[in-house]
Amino acid sequence: MMRKLLRLLIFGVSVGAMLALIALLKQKNRALEEAQLRIASIEQRMQEIMASVSRESQESDLRTQLAQQRAELERLRMELATLQTQKVASGAGPFPEWNTLSSLEASMQTQANEPRADAEKTSEHLAQGAALSHRQGEAGAMGAPLSAFPAAKRRFVERALEANLAPTLIERPQTLSAIDGIGPVFEQRLYDAGIGSYWEVAMLDDETLRRILKLSKARAALVRFDAIRASAQRLAEETQTRGCIWSSEPVDDFEKIPGVGQVYKRRLYDAGVRTYAALASITPQQLEEICASRAPVPPDYAGWIEAAQRLAEQKARNETKNDETKN
């Protein structure tokens, strides 16, 4: 009897130990599964972070390439304008307002003395610039007499002559938002004030910049005007547009139209469409060609035209009211 009870006791202890071991094993398996799930989640998050970093790096590279291409485009345009103007001015000689040989003539003379290979390369660049200029609607007058410049631009002409530069009248405003410290809002305020080239911005003093950008004295104390001018000067040198003076033709802010951002606004400006009235007068087909959108859903060009028409009418009413108030 005792032996049977002892066997039952041993059997019970064995069963209990086995059940405890099974429970422990299940608990460890659950812990292992949870750990594996956490590891998988962490790995997925790491992949997302790496993909994000890769995208940011690619975007940064693309922005850099875009800036370089934009600078090259500006340089080609200016080379084309130089060639066109020199051809016109070659029979008339230098203008009486200039006391020294312009850098334009010196540049053309230098090119004439270069080897044939370099001349062919320059001609190729000029041909590329001509094609780009034709598409973008670029127009300008290099080496124009002082009388060709608006009175408000005389101070810039004088600064150019003081620096021994050929004053250059350009029709197309440059992308001022590329200047450090100048965003889309400040860019439009500069346009509204008649400032449309990197070189003009580089020539503005602190007080004029503060007034044009509509900065309070407190905010102006935080703005680095020297950095703005230095960045503008650097861009003028990189694009070979030192001495360039914008003709100050009206430029409206297309970003007030839903769907028109910085990219489309710049393409419209480059194509010579710079006012609400001009935008309202073209067709959706022309807009499609100018904007060359690659978006899966094309912009609402008809909606742009309708909005531009409303803004043009509103602008005309405001100008009429202002004239009546002055009178």
Q: What is the DSSP string of 33-102?
A: HHHHHHHHHHHHHHHHHHHHHHHHHHHHHHHHHHHHHHHHHHHHHHHHHHHHHHHHHTTT-S-TT-SS--
Task: Give the closest residue to 191 by CA, choosing from 263, 274, 286.
Answer: 274
Give the number of other CB atoms < 10 A from CB of residue 172. 23
Contact 135, 198 (CB under 8 A): no
Structure tokens at 150: 């608006």
Instruction: Determine if the pTM surpasses 0.85.
Output: no
Partners of 169 in beta bridges: 141, 245
Where on the phi/psi map is residue 248: left (φ > 0), alpha (ψ -120 to 50), or beta? left
Identify the pLDDT of residue 233: 95
Q: What is the pLDDT of residue 244?
A: 92
269 Cβ partners below 8 Å, 6+ apart?
Answer: 172, 173, 251
Burial grade of 50 (CB within 10 A; 0-12, 13-18, 19 or more): exposed
- The beta strand positions in 176-321, using DSSP E, are 244-246
What pLDDT, on a 0 to 100 scale, did the predictor assign at position 268? 92
Can you tell me the distance from the alpha carbon of 273 to that of 250, in angstroms, rounded to the nearest whole number?
10
What pLDDT does 99 receive? 36
DSSP run (H or E) holding 11: helix 2-89
Report how far residue 270's alpha carbon sits from residue 135's, in angstroms, rounded to the nearest whole number: 8
Q: What is the pLDDT along the chain (327 residues), one digit of tens a residue?
A: 667 667 777 777 676 777 777 777 777 767 667 767 777 667 677 676 666 655 666 666 677 777 667 666 666 666 655 555 554 445 444 333 333 334 434 444 444 444 444 444 444 444 444 433 333 333 333 455 566 677 788 889 888 888 888 888 888 899 999 999 999 899 999 998 999 999 999 999 999 999 999 999 899 999 999 999 999 999 999 999 999 999 888 889 898 999 998 889 989 988 889 999 999 999 999 999 999 888 888 899 999 999 999 999 998 888 888 777 766
Amino acid at 28: K
Looking at domain 252-327, its CATH architecture is Orthogonal Bundle (1.10)
Residue 249, SS3? coil
Write down the pLDDT at residue 52.
64
- 312: nearest Cα among 261, 284, 273, 259: 273
Task: Give the per-residue pLDDT at 195.
Answer: 94
Q: 3-state DSSP: the chain helix, strand, coil percent, rounded to 5?
A: 70, 5, 30
Neighbours of 138 (CB within 10 A): 22
Q: Are 165 and 173 in contact (CB under 8 A)?
A: no
Give Cα 92 distance to the centre of its chain.
Answer: 39
Q: Around Cβ 237, how many Cβ atoms within 10 Å?
A: 14
